[in-house]
A and B are shown apart, each in its own frame.
Chain A
């Protein structure tokens, strides 16, 4: 691996690649706090040029009625611009990621007792342009919130459903003789198309996790020391069911602590079991429900902004001709 420092792949830490651990037997009941975000990117084609980041928090403590909270950030006017110019969709995504993480850190810090915080997707932030000063500011906030959690020893994890990653597979490829030829194009790769989940689903029983592995990549270098990125695979299927693997990304301070690691392992499996025949962490789904901004809600926000603009005697605009055409009834094409 030292010979391939820029190759994005997994690397073993303490446990061998073939290691798999059963569900921990006794883990104390703990509070689960999940966060998810949604966003409305600004669009010059809409009647009102605004952006919105919505973060939904779902709090679930043993023996208590769960609670929801939503944190909204509306961007309009000057707030749509950074020092580099107009906010891009990527920048708004970063703002959303930071919003989720800082909200979790804040809530978890005030908890008494064991707690696990969850987000959907990876711990890394893959956004461009990375050289944007605005991005750096948000990235620094993101890292700060992770380090705060590390200081408070809060168990945190990011859950990736139906992972297509091949981090372990790429590691295996590095061990093959063909590695010396340089694995550039997909067609050259001897194991191209094989995912980690395909490998691990052959050996992991329901409830088991794989070895905890580190992530080597250019972007992962931004996460150092206690927030270095690690991951494991978890079979969230019920007993007797077909394997269903998720990838769980955790920071090093969780990976290095057997208690925190067991807690994350146990909580994620039990949360997924709550969801019935399509296992997925219940708290994450509810956080998504809280955060999501539906089309009708977007329209309502637009109407409210227009009403306020009119009340202040300011002109209001209409949708662009292009968007107006798209909005005509009878459109059958599905927009992604």
Chain B
């Protein structure tokens, strides 16, 4: 279990959440990455990062008009000023003790709960559980960049699966996507176009 906290919860509902993190924590989370948010003692929600948002404010907008922005000013705005990076994550399942479910969590996490990136072992454990049931949370949400998000997730999950000795996972996942979208040709083509990049890249993260 990773103890490298990447941020804290700002707000959440039953389907998604937004967490805030300092710029210095920004190395950890990536688009399509899986995160784990403990809920209580025995439960945890799993999420998929679908947006990383860096806000500006009046001062930053004015600073960019300067001819030269010194390193000290840049560091000051990244480290000191309260403009957190906001990361949005879609809930894709939860666990109770060691039992994983691809249903939505029974309740959202609480404000300021810590969020952790999933380790490769946790990614494997979650994605091997059941039969890709969590794909429906991604494929049915038309507010998301579905193709790009799924491709980014598959790339990262495939890397974890290959390292764990399961090279056939990606093919099985793509077959499931085709099955789920067999009646939605346009969306299927869009998703396959993005997922195709994962194969071009060698399936490596």
Contacts and interface: CB of A to CB of B under 8 A. Distances in A.
B1 interface: no
Listed residue (B66, B69, B71) with the most chain A CB atoms within 10 angstroms of its CB: B66
A126 interface: no
A274 B63 contact: yes
Contact of B68 (A273, A277, A285, A286): A273
Q: Give chain B's interface residue range (CB within 8 Å of chain A).
A: 10 to 19
Interface in B44-79: 59, 62-73, 75-76, 79
A278 B80 CA distance: 22
A274 B79 contact: no
A67 B70 CA distance: 15
Contacts of A277: 62, 65-66
Contacts of B59: 285, 289
A276 B62 contact: yes
Interface in A263-280: 273-278
A286 B67 CA distance: 19
A208 to B, nearest CB: 18
Interface residues of A, number: 20
B77 to A, nearest CB: 9
Contact of A276 (B66, B70, B76): B66
B63 A238 contact: no
Contacts, number: 46
Contacts of A286: 76, 80
Contacts of A273: 66-68
Contact of A66 (B64, B67, B76): B76
Nearest to A66: B76
Contact of B69 (A62, A65, A274): A274
Contacts of A289: 59, 81
A274 B62 contact: no
Listed residue (B64, B67, B72, B73) with the most chain A CB atoms within 10 angstroms of its CB: B72
Nearest to A60: B72
Given A238-B67, A273-B67, A66 B72 contact: yes
B26 to A, nearest CB: 16
A275 B66 contact: yes
Contacts of B64: 276
Contacts of B80: 65-68, 286
Contacts of A64: 72
Contact of B75 (A66, A274, A276): A66
A274 B77 CA distance: 13
A65 B70 CA distance: 11
Given A66-B80, A67-B80, A274 B73 contact: yes
A300 B63 CA distance: 31
Nearest to A272: B66
Interface in A62-100: 62-68
A139 B188 CA distance: 76
Interface string B60-104: 001111111111110110011100000000000000000000000
A282 interface: yes
Contacts of B66: 273-277
A277 B65 CA distance: 6
A61 B76 CA distance: 11
Interface of B: 59, 62-73, 75-76, 79-81
30 contacts: A61-B72, A63-B71, A64-B72, A65-B75, A65-B79, A65-B80, A66-B72, A66-B75, A66-B76, A66-B80, A68-B80, A238-B67, A273-B68, A274-B63, A274-B68, A274-B70, A275-B62, A275-B63, A275-B66, A276-B62, A276-B63, A276-B64, A276-B65, A276-B66, A277-B65, A278-B62, A282-B73, A286-B80, A289-B59, A289-B81
